[in-house]
Chain A
Amino acid sequence: MAAAIPLSLLVLLLLGPGGWCLAEHPRDSLREELVITPLPSGDVAATFQFRTRWDSELQREGGLSVLLKADRLFHTSYHSQAVHIRPVCRNARCTSISWELRQTLSVVFDAFITGQGKKDWSLFRMFSRTLTEPCPLASESRVYVDITNYNQDNETLEVHPSPTTTYQDVILGTRKTYAIYDLLDSAMINNSRNLNIQLKWKRPPENEAPPVPFLHAQRYVSGYGLQKGELSTLLYNTHPYRAFPVLLLDTVPWYLRLYVHTLTITSKGKENKPSYIHYQPAQDRLQPHLLEMLIQLPANSVTKVSIQFERALLKWTEYTPDPNHGFYVSPSVLSALVPSMVAAKPVDWEESPLFNSLFPVSDGSNYFVRLYTEPLLVNLPTPDFSMPYNVICLTCTVVAVCYGSFYNLLTRTFHIEEPRTGGLAKRLANLIRRARGVPLL
């Protein structure tokens, strides 16, 4: 939240009066697109991209912003928003620059809920809106629908209305086909005064779901009890024939004391020796463990990386207000150059669709992926902070005090001091008493 305010200020500044979007080529300055992609899980991902401009006024004017309706967008499985600002040269010699503002919103729709149990979808089901007109300001306003046919022999899905054009590209190492709906194409909307793109699976989509990505990972804590445990990370390489290295970066909080000698990496039942390990031990209350490894993942395999830890006892002021919730352990970070199935062509960024920039391509044969595993929740040994804990503290204090005084009494040696002979008066008195035969003082 703290970041949101300066960010919106920045956006306002950029779009303020006399902003560059009203300058020379206003229609050229706004590109908007929506990419709809079915996911391996059966859900549907929708990614909006607006380059240069995205504010509330646009909603009245139509275009893709019509679809942005909060109550639908927040009833989804996932959403993420991003803002990118960068300088762009206006001419070849770069004498003057423009600022490019790119806003993205990615949403994963729970196909099951929106589709009432079926995995077919339509724009109306997802957004409870249809597209009625293009944005008058936009120079480009398109909807891309991923209609890649994973089953070679026949068509498995159909989109309605049928697209006028298709677009093919290599995304994350595989060839994808997109149906393009251009809102600026007047024929597209004029037919029925609205555009409701629909996708239907011809057969139940269990077998036709897109293949899982080549690299994915899973992480969990194993063991039980509050003393020890084990962090396990499963790395899946589903590539049929290529092995590739993965850089695994783990930051583990200091209160999980890692036993580095227990680090084991096994692939296909054999030990997998990492080609590089960097380990920086934790310092209590100062820095976490840092463990970085370069691991070669054999083709079509599951690699298990596990390391044991012991749960530390925190000082009692170090516990969070909800200590019994557990403590979060941040995700491992996987960075890999995953081999492609299909060689990618070099891309012209300005010409290709905007979503291409979401998938960076490093070279023709590999593509770069950075994955974050799920965060973990680890319970530490937690004192009962309520009454018994206070009672224990109090009793210990009392016992300590009592014990101290008793111990003191028991171990002290007492010496009997001879009574002092007394002063002159006493001596005199004694003299007299002796003379009288009376016991002395």
Chain B
Amino acid sequence: MTSDSCGPSSRLYLAAPDQLGLLSSGCGATCLPPGRCTAGPTLLGAAPSGLPNPLTSCRLHQHRPPSSRPLLWARAPSALDMRAGASVSGTGSAGERGSPGLTGAACGHRGGDWRRERVRRWERVRSRAALPRHGPPVGPGSPARARPPRAAPQRAAVVRTGLGEAGTRGPWTRAAGGPMRGPHRGPGPLQLLAPLRLLAPFRSCPLEALRISGPGLALGSGVPMQDSGFSVLSYVAGIAWFLALVFPPLTQRTYMSENAMGSTMVEEQFAGGDRARAFARDFAAHRKKSGALPVAWLERTMRSVGLEVYTQSFSRKLPFPDETHERYMVSGTNVYGILRAPRAASTESLVLTVPCGSDSTNSQAVGLLLALAAHFRGQIYWAKDIIFLVTEHDLLGTEAWLEAYHDVNVTGMQSSPLQGRAGAIQAAVALELSSDVVTSLDVAVEGLNGQLPNLDLLNLFQTFCQKGGLLCTLQGKLQPQDWTSLDGPLQGLQTLLLMVLRQASGRPHGSHGLFLRYRVEALTLRGINSFRQYKYDLVAVGKALEGMFRKLNHLLERLHQSFFLYLLPGLSRFVSIGLYMPAVGFLLLVLGLKALELWMQLHEAGMGLEEPGGAPGPSVPLPPSQGVGLASLVAPLLISQAMGLALYVLPVLGQHVATQHFPVAEAEAVVLTLLAIYAAGLALPHNTHRVVSTQAPDRGWMALKLVALIYLALQLGCIALTNFSLGFLLATSMVPAAALAKPHGPRTLYAALLVLTSPAAMLLGSLFLWRELQEAPLSLAEGWQLFLAALAQGVLEHHTYGALLFPLLSLGLYPCWLLFWNVLFWK
């Protein structure tokens, strides 16, 4: 091959050496006699640092006297050179067109004739092909060239099919200054233009721009080793960053940001423990008698403690029977009482809610709610109305009430309109208590679709826990005390992982989760009664609640001061969004790197393909992006999206058909259909690869993988922004397999990896991890049962509460994953 082996530096500066003066001096030394190749290492040494050496091959250059070459004629020799190179390279080398300069190849043809005439001689040639042809390298450049052949196809050397001085000089001036025909020898102004040249290609050819910046950023196809190295490094960095989040510099102490709730100077006076227990007993008795929520009793009792009482009836037919909660046609009644704040206009309110399920749990919570209502009613300091809400069918009732309160219908719930309202709800607390005494209070913050309440609400709870000496837990885990040693952070990591899993599930973990959609800050308090000796009675819990409500009553604005996006490794520690986002950023970078690499390779392949056409005449070739053959991508994309759509629609739609033909119940039918479609997606032939030219068999899957990578990266990026946990979990599992998938190499290994990281497998894995972290490990059979239940719940929650995990997985990630599957089995 010819070479003025100034490749790297020239490429960086995009300037002919002789015109760049000082800049070129580094390689000028090696290039002085055009075509005389000097040592590669020297060259490398001379190249500006940061260049990961794209050029390793130096070849003698056919010396042509520059003066003997007219400009218009310039194309021929270069083509000649290149054809020679290409014929050996087989797959075709980069520039077979008229004057396939590095930038000229793409820019020139789009840009017009004058550009095509540029005689820049930068060529990218497959070095594997080039090496044998040009014989042993001259000089010590050879060691660097001796790369493992596996990596060779990705390697591209920048070779200048040099034309000597005339060839370099002329076009440069032209490129910079317009169509000047003659070789221009004035060196002066061009030095000024050096930066411009660097940027000039951006104008018309982004691809080339990428390539130019490539070496500098180590992203170019010339550095495959470094590239995959970077990918691995980036992936590891992402995981390591996430694990490092529990260590003190990254995790910070929580602090109250809201001024109005700053101090805890509230004297709690609640003393209605006996009253609460009496209410709870009565409630449980009435509930047992009637078998449902004792609406009349609740109404009477609420009225007797001085509330303004209303009821709301609702009914909902679930899309299919809910076997976990044993319900299908649901109808119930919510009861709520409003405590009107004196001398206020009912513009703002707070909510204390107790969700009552079908079983007899939560009676104590109702008792405490009523006792608190009675206590609150006697106070004169309320500035906001307080709504005491008891919902039937736990979250369904809450959803019905919230929709009716805000007069919207999101989930197709039928409910009677509300008679009484109390303005904009500022905050809500959900209470779940099933015993007269508790050993600890557990707080749940994760809401629907991973939404979180403002951190100040949690801080408020924590403050009153400390003040009342209550034992408070997060994710059922005690708060580690010592964050300086390793134990604290490790314990925090467990809590953090539990939170990530919970948040990623997108389920409302408690009825507070449904409030978050309406921008009502809310959390759920659960009383836990375990075997611990020291127990708290309802008064302690009531006092904590009283304190919280009195503080919330002080609010002047909605809670907005503190964080909305955070992770919690402990109750008094948090990680803010600015600190955890890099973790997922590193993971997504892998996809970006891979995509960029593919883009480079595709571009080479694209150039190669057009070569056999032979006539590199003035006809404008397709830009590489189109040359990839978008048509061949349409079929797999459409098919996989259709599979996703089928996965989303068919299970619920076809449940009745399934129950008629198979001996299964509706819920089973839904889950089994779900699994069947999911598995069927793997078996379908996706590609119509006949369309793809046989001359570049790799192009098809490369293009498909490129599209899939970008699709995945976009999806994961968007998910991570709204629900970090889900985005991070998906990225952790899907990225490696996605990056590795290709139709060569150990296919079965890749296939196994891909299947293991598919969304469904990830769900299964998360369940196991979840129970492992909760120290209640699952057996395989239990895990499978739980998995089936989780599938059914996921579909149900999408229909009943509007949880987005199911559509996200079925319409977004599953089709995307199928694309990778498709890439893997590309023929």
Could you tell me which A residues sit within 8 Å of B by CB distance? 41, 75-79, 110, 112-113, 117, 206, 218, 220-226, 230, 232, 322-326, 328, 374-379, 382, 384, 386, 406, 409-410, 413-419
Q: Which residue of A lies closest to B190 (CB)?
A: A416
- Chain A nearest CB from B710 CB (Å) reads 24
| Contact stretch, chosen from B191-199, B211-219, B323-331, B620-628 | B191-199
Q: Which residue of B lies closest to A412 (CB)?
A: B196
Q: Mark B458-494, 1 if CB is under 8 A from A, else 0.
A: 0000000000000000000000000000000000000
B392 sits at the interface (CB 8 A) = no
Q: Which of B84-92, B246-254, B301-309, B674-682 contacts A (4 or more CB under 8 A)?
A: B301-309
Q: If the complex has contacts A117-B306, A325-B558, A419-B186, are A409 and B173 also in contact, measured as CB distance less than 8 A?
A: no
Across-interface contacts of B177 in A (CB, < 8 A) = 414-416
Q: Is B781 an interface residue (CB 8 A)?
A: no
- Could you pull out 7 A-B pairs where Cβ atoms are within 8 angstroms? A222-B407, A323-B557, A324-B560, A326-B557, A374-B345, A414-B193, A416-B190
**Known contacts A379-B424, A410-B203, A416 near B189 by CB under 8 Å:** yes
Determine the residue in chain B with the shortest Cβ distance to A115. Answer: B306
Q: Is the CB of A324 within 8 A of B347?
A: no
**Residue from the list B193, B408, B556 in contact with A223, Cβ < 8 A:** B408
Taking a contact as CB atoms closer than 8 A, the residue among A222, A225, A328 that contacts B347 in the complex is: A328
A122 to B202, CA, bound (A): 88
**Is A322 in contact with B556, judged by CB distance below 8 angstroms?**
yes
* Contacts known (A223-B406, A324-B558, A416-B177); A379 close to B519, Cβ less than 8 A: yes
Q: How far is the CA of A409 from the CA of B195 in the complex (A)?
A: 9
What's the minimum C-beta distance from B605 to chain A, rounded to whole angstroms? 30
Q: Is B147 on the interface with A (CB-CB < 8 A)?
A: no
Complex interface: chain B residues within 8 A of A110 (CB): 342
B784 is an interface residue with CB less than 8 A from chain A: no
- Tell whether B184 is near chain A: CB-to-CB under 8 Å: yes
Q: Which residue of B lies closest to A41 (CB)?
A: B308
Q: For residue B340, which residues in chain A have a CB less than 8 angstroms away from its CB?
A: 77
Known pairs A78-B343, A222-B406, A384-B560; list 8 more (Cβ under 8 Å).
Answer: A79-B343, A112-B306, A223-B408, A324-B560, A375-B347, A416-B184, A417-B189, A419-B188
**Contact among B189, B308, B346 for A374, CB-based, below 8 A:** B346
Q: Assess whether B176 is in contact with A76, with CB atoms less than 8 Å apart.
A: no
Interface pair A322/B188, CB less than 8 Å apart? no
Interface size class of B (residues with CB under 8 A): 35 or more
B287 CB contacts on chain A under 8 angstroms? none
Q: Which residues of A contact B203 (CB under 8 A)?
A: 410
B380 at the A interface (CB under 8 A) = yes
Determine the chain B residues whose CB is within 8 A of the CB of A328 once the complex forms.
347
Question: CA of A441 to CA of B518 in the docked complex: distance in angstroms?
Answer: 79
Smallest Cβ distance from B824 to chain A, in angstroms? 41
Chain A residue at minimum C-beta to C-beta distance from B173: A416
Which residue of the partner chain A has the closest CB to B342? Answer: A77
6 shortest A-B CB distances, which residue pairs? Answer: A222-B407, A324-B557, A112-B306, A325-B557, A324-B560, A377-B347
Known: A375-B347, A415-B177. A218 touches B421 (CB 8 A): yes
Q: Bound complex: CA of A410 vs CA of B347, how far in Å?
A: 56
A112-B720 Cα distance, complex, nearest whole Å = 52
Report chain A residues within 8 Å CB of B424. 221, 326, 376-379
Cβ–Cβ < 8 Å partners of B407 in chain A: 220, 222-223, 230, 232
B517 within 8 A of A: yes
What is the CB-to-nearest-CB distance from A391 to chain B, in angstroms, rounded to a whole number? 10
Within 8 Å CB of B180, what residues of A?
A: 416
B380 & A75 in contact (Cβ 8 Å cutoff): yes
How far apart are B764's CB and chain A's nearest CB, in angstroms? 34
> Could you tell me if A414 and B377 are in contact, using CB atoms closer than 8 angstroms?
no
Which residues of the partner chain A approach B342 to less than 8 Å between Cβ atoms? 75-78, 110
Residue numbers in B under 8 Å from A378 (CB-CB):
424
Report B401 CB to chain A, min CB distance, Å.
Answer: 14
Contact call A376/B347, Cβ cutoff below 8 A: yes
| Residues on B with beta carbons closer than 8 Å to the beta carbon of A418 | 186
Q: How far is the CB of B350 from chain A (nearest CB, A)?
A: 14
Instruction: Please tell me if B357 contacts chain A, counting CB pairs below 8 Å.
Output: no
CA distance A401 to B557 in the complex (A): 36
Q: How far is the CA of A232 from the CA of B407 in the complex (A)?
A: 9
Beta-carbon nearest neighbor of A411 in chain B: B203
How many angstroms from the CA of A225 to the CA of B520 in the assembled complex? 11
Given A117-B306, A414-B177, is A374 in contact with B343 using a C-beta cutoff of 8 Å? no
**For A384, what are the chain B residues with a Cβ–Cβ distance below 8 Å?**
560
A117-B306, A222-B407 given; A377·B178 CB < 8 A: no
| Contact (A410, B423) CB under 8 Å given A77-B343, A230-B407, A415-B177 | no
Cβ contact within 8 Å between A113 and B377: yes
- Residues of B contacting A374 in the complex (Cβ-Cβ under 8 angstroms): 345-347, 423
For A417, the chain B residues whose CB sits under 8 A away are 189
Residues of B with C-beta under 8 A to A386: 561
Binary contact readout B340-375 vs A (1 if CB under 8 angstroms, 0 otherwise) = 101101111000000000000000000000000000
Whether a CB of chain A sits under 8 angstroms from the CB of B378 is: yes
CB-based contact B519/A224 at 8 Å: yes
Q: How far is the CB of B44 from chain A (nearest CB, A)?
A: 30
A222-B407, A232-B407, A322-B557 known; A414-B196 Cβ under 8 A: yes
> B303: which A residues are within 8 A, CB to CB?
206
CB-CB under 8 A from B305, the residues of chain A are 117
Q: With CB as the reference atom, state the residue of chain A lying closest to B305.
A: A117
Residues in chain B near residue A416, CB distance under 8 A? 173, 176-177, 180, 184, 186, 189-190
Q: A376-B423, A379-B558 in contact; A224/B347 too (CB < 8 A)?
A: no
Which of chain B's residues have a CB closer than 8 A to the CB of A76?
342-343
Q: Residue-by-residue, is B503-537 near A (CB-CB < 8 Å gives 1, otherwise 0)?
A: 00000000000000111000000000000000000
Cβ 8 A contact of B304, one of A41, A117, A406, A415: A117
A395 to chain B, nearest CB (A): 14
What separation, in Å, do the CA atoms of A323 and B561 have in the docked complex?
12
B348 / chain A contacts, CB cutoff of 8 Å: 377
Task: List A contacts of B519 (CB < 8 A).
Answer: 224-226, 379
Q: Compute how far the CA of A230 lies from the CA of B304 in the bound complex, rounded to whole angstroms.
A: 35
Q: Evaluate whether A224 and B558 lie within 8 angstroms (CB atoms) in the complex, with A375-B347, A376-B347, A377-B348 already known.
A: no
Which residues of chain A are near B561, meaning CB under 8 Å?
A: 386
Chain B residue with the shortest CB-CB distance to A75: B380
Q: How far is the CA of A375 from the CA of B345 in the complex (A)?
A: 7
- Report the minimal beta-carbon distance from B173 to chain A, rounded to whole angstroms: 7
Look across to chain B and name the residue whose beta carbon is closest to the beta carbon of A74. B343
A410 in contact with B202 given A113-B378, A379-B424, A416-B189 (CB within 8 Å) = yes
A386→B193 CA distance, assembly (Å): 44
Question: Taking CB as reference atom, which chain A residue is nearest B418?
Answer: A220
Contact of A415 among B178, B343, B378, B560 (CB under 8 A): B178
Contacts of A225 in B (CB 8 A): 519
Q: How far is the CA of A218 from the CA of B303 in the complex (A)?
A: 21
Closest chain-A Cβ to B218's Cβ sits at a distance in Å of 23
